Structure 1
């Protein structure tokens, strides 16, 4: 009897500990993700649902690891590792893993996966060690056993209720019919934040990539575009998209180290302008590029599938279209899916063999030398300043800035790249327009797509044209009432350059509705983000 009471007491104590851990996790999830909007966390029913599902999850993991069956132990070990990885991510970044991060895991190429190895190890390394330690304690030291009938029944019952809701919801049924399963997984993730939610979202994101596989031309123009287009003034339009480029590290914008001497000279000459106060529309490449090259908006992806992209509009108005990118930005199959959906509409797609951007100028020269098409639209995607920074520069950059940190050297390498591209363009054309900007900024030595740090949105924007009609005042006309030029304006700027007129009412509405797509998938007014900092 005494032995039974001790065992029962130990079980109760351990259950209280697990409940406490579950409550903390549920509180963190609600307050550090987009699940809790306003009001007190403890007044939100979702808090108690999260607490129950997390507690059931922990008890089931405990039971699995304590099992005598190796396969069950392996599953318990795996799910414990995933749970501890979430906790490790929160400790390191101060927020829960967002949908944007999970999408980026799926929609990436092997080069980017390898480049993020160091950051991944920082997260999964401690989680893996802690998983081994906890598994050892549960197997060798703690002999408490739980009856899994109640937690397993609750866990499955709630999942069935959610599934029934999803099956009967008309808006979600429409998305499923289109092949997009992520909205369903977002709901599961809100109820099951511990491991299962992230796994279900990753699976849904992976199975949803087929919606980006269609390469057929879209017939419909966005309602903002006035037809027919006029005969375009520009023979050659080159849009250069940088990567992870923080404007405050550019000497062209006042940084104390000479990171961008070439760009300063190029864009300060007649016909050029260095635009201040510019920001990206998103903090992830997968979201930012579609909002530059299509009429995609932060609130919805519908226009991506329903309206012609800038690439398709260029072809419609007799431009030959090119997509030129570094090896690090390769589009593999239906991966890099969201912007790959647009890229694959280009008539010529070329990737350099070397990851250093400076080599792109030779690829561009090969293009211009061989192709006599009278009108060309070229999108150039740089590796830029993506992590690891040490892969983004060479000895020439180190010699030019011997005391600079690695990130500054990547900016200097981008500066040399722009100069090399500019020289090639000048050599083969006397009627051109060049835009250089970045897909997003960077929290230096941390990354991007994390929290609400404004550095991941602050970007350069530089412009030069041989056509006097397209001058600095032309670019300034797209600036919003908050004083910033948004990445959402890129599509309208390019539309004008390609010979299309824009409905002024629609443009004014968009221009003065300056917002950004946050890493946690919320849409936030840029002024609100700005005021937080």
Structure 2
């Protein structure tokens, strides 16, 4: 009876996933159900361990698919790229759900433990389909790896592309697609190599569309990169439920861009567009071409990266190697000074920012400077992104609105420091990507295949307290939108680089994004939920 229940359970779960054909569906059901049944014939403690792991793993799969309509590789890699602090934050926020879930799983295990009977021969026989699928998949991966190594010996560009999970992921991605229930995700996790530490080309070339104008337009450039900020919740953009951005709204000389979207819906692929010059069809240019820090150094401009997020975790983020190009690097897990830097809140960055402004500002004859500040912004769980000051100011507001108000306070404090310490400056604020604000603490409010436009819409404001006259309209796409990679283009202009007119023409003619399924789409053609009207808001 228990074996029939296992088979029916896996069969029902299979209808939550898409299969290429029924043969693949039956194959996945056979592999997983026979594996689960084999555990009932193992030594009891061992059987209990494997059953608990499998049940928990499959429960997570079901939860993600039911809630987010998809379990794409972006979500899986976000889990892999989660550092200890982010894991503990999400864990603490979801204890109310996790405790009863853990109790339920223990209860299920208690009920089925009586069904376990040691018979190693039958257990191993039932594991045969699993072993056949696993070893045949592993052999296929080894064969492809051998071919990739041959290519790598002859092409440095290949190594850059491969480090971005574009090539050696093809096999594990196809196996994951073939066996989406348990086996495919397990195989993917066991064989995932991460992006690794990307080795820059020793002689990175200046992007061919940039020409040095031999002058510097702005003495101090400040780029503030937010996280998961959605303009629909900024009172600056017309949000009327709560006054979430009262301070920014009072700024003079402020340019507020409407209709701005990110180039991707995940930090790992969205953020490099803000500080380097990749293309959606050739992401490797983030590492083979000079980035904003390289361009600054060519003109003797001092550079700094001050961030409230990790850049040097086990699975190194795609922007980490670029951030490390700055003269000063301060992040949670890597500093160029060798001293620990442990901000717990975005406001904790202010002391380091003030020191940089003082050291390189007008009090010390002021060098030309590029300051990049990376915040944790409104990343889930939202409840820890604000404090009592925000709650008092916005009584009755939800936790996401409070996080926006917290960001408003940070931006205003940075502006005050710049007013006091810097001779002239241009400040740019945007977010790496947007957010689908559905619930609290899931950590999956972006990077969704069917998440729509909310996870792309971002704020973009420019505070220009300098004599630099920029023409922002020339960056508007023919579609009417802006993309937030104009931050890197504006910074290049402010540093005294001239943009090729043909590049600007081609840039405005295209409005494409790199989605979390690693497919390039025209922005107006983003994957949508079946019942969702397709439109680029």
The 1-side partners of 2:288 and 2:272 are apart by: 13
Check the 8 A contact 2:36/2:51 in 1, yes or no: yes
Match of 2:347 among 358, 375, 378: 358
State TM-score, norm by structure 2: 0.83
CA deviations over 1:12-33 (Å, ceiling 9, x no partner): xx45x65554444444322xxx
The 2-side partners of 1:282 and 1:89 are apart by: 21
The aligned residue for residue 194 of structure 2 is 208
Moved more, 106-115 or 125-134: 125-134
More helix per residue: 1
Check the 8 A contact 2:201/2:288 in 1, yes or no: no
The aligned residue for residue 461 of structure 1 is 460
Aligned pair in 2 of structure 1 residues 109, 160: CA closer, same or farther (>3 Å)?
Answer: closer
The aligned residue for residue 59 of structure 1 is 34
The aligned residue for residue 472 of structure 2 is 475
Check the 8 A contact 2:431/2:459 in 1, yes or no: yes
Structure 2 unmatched ranges of 5 or more? 153-157, 332-340
1:138 is the counterpart of 2:123: no
Tell me the matched-pair count.
497
Match of 2:54 among 79, 103, 124: 79
1:186 is the counterpart of 2:141: no
Check the 8 A contact 1:84/1:127 in 2, yes or no: no
1:396 is the counterpart of 2:382: no
1:345 is the counterpart of 2:333: no
Shift of 1:169: 4.4
Aligned pair in 2 of structure 1 residues 149, 300: CA closer, same or farther (>3 Å)?
Answer: farther
The 2-side partners of 1:229 and 1:382 are apart by: 32
The aligned residue for residue 532 of structure 1 is 534
Shift of 1:461: 0.4
Check the 8 A contact 2:221/2:369 in 1, yes or no: yes
The 2-side partners of 1:374 and 1:123 are apart by: 53
The aligned residue for residue 90 of structure 1 is 65
CA deviations over 1:177-225 (Å, ceiling 9, x no partner): 65554333222312232223223333444x334333x4x6742336443
Check the 8 A contact 2:38/2:126 in 1, yes or no: no
Shift of 1:344: 1.5
Check the 8 A contact 1:217/1:312 in 2, yes or no: no
Shift of 1:423: 1.2
Shift of 1:374: 1.4
Match of 1:265 among 246, 250, 272: 250
Structure 1 unmatched ranges of 5 or more? 1-9, 31-40
CA deviations over 1:116-174 (Å, ceiling 9, x no partner): 22566577656544543443343325889995667644333344444444444487555
The aligned residue for residue 219 of structure 2 is 235
> Secondary structure at 1:211's aligned position in 2?
coil
Aligned pair in 2 of structure 1 residues 476, 130: CA closer, same or farther (>3 Å)?
Answer: farther
The aligned residue for residue 446 of structure 2 is 448
Moved more, 131-140 or 439-448: 131-140
Check the 8 A contact 1:88/1:123 in 2, yes or no: no
The 2-side partners of 1:27 and 1:506 are apart by: 47
Cα RMSD (Å) of the superposition?
Answer: 3.1
1:156-175 to 2 correspondences below 5 Å: 156-169=131-144, 174=151
The 1-side partners of 2:8 and 2:473 are apart by: 55
1:216-255 to 2 correspondences below 5 Å: 218-221=202-205, 223-228=207-212, 230-255=214-239
CA deviations over 1:306-326 (Å, ceiling 9, x no partner): 222222222223221101123
The 1-side partners of 2:46 and 2:270 are apart by: 43
Shift of 1:385: 1.4
CA deviations over 1:288-321 (Å, ceiling 9, x no partner): 1112212233445322332222222222232211
The aligned residue for residue 4 of structure 1 is none
Check the 8 A contact 1:480/1:514 in 2, yes or no: yes
The 1-side partners of 2:281 and 2:447 are apart by: 17
1:8-27 to 2 correspondences below 5 Å: 10=1, 14-15=3-4, 18=6, 20-27=8-15
Aligned pair in 2 of structure 1 residues 422, 385: CA closer, same or farther (>3 Å)?
Answer: same
> Secondary structure at 2:371's aligned position in 1?
strand
CA deviations over 1:482-531 (Å, ceiling 9, x no partner): 11111233332322223223333334333332223333333332212395
> Secondary structure at 1:521's aligned position in 2?
coil
The 1-side partners of 2:8 and 2:504 are apart by: 52
Check the 8 A contact 2:194/2:315 in 1, yes or no: no
Shift of 1:340: 1.3
The 1-side partners of 2:99 and 2:279 are apart by: 37
The 2-side partners of 1:196 and 1:209 are apart by: 22
> Secondary structure at 2:271's aligned position in 1?
helix
CA deviations over 1:395-451 (Å, ceiling 9, x no partner): 222222223222212111111111110111122223211101111222223532233
The 2-side partners of 1:120 and 1:59 are apart by: 32
Check the 8 A contact 2:270/2:432 in 1, yes or no: yes
Q: Which 4+ residue blocks in structure 1 deviate beyond 6 angstroms?
A: 142-146
The aligned residue for residue 334 of structure 2 is none
The 2-side partners of 1:487 and 1:21 are apart by: 46
The aligned residue for residue 311 of structure 2 is 331
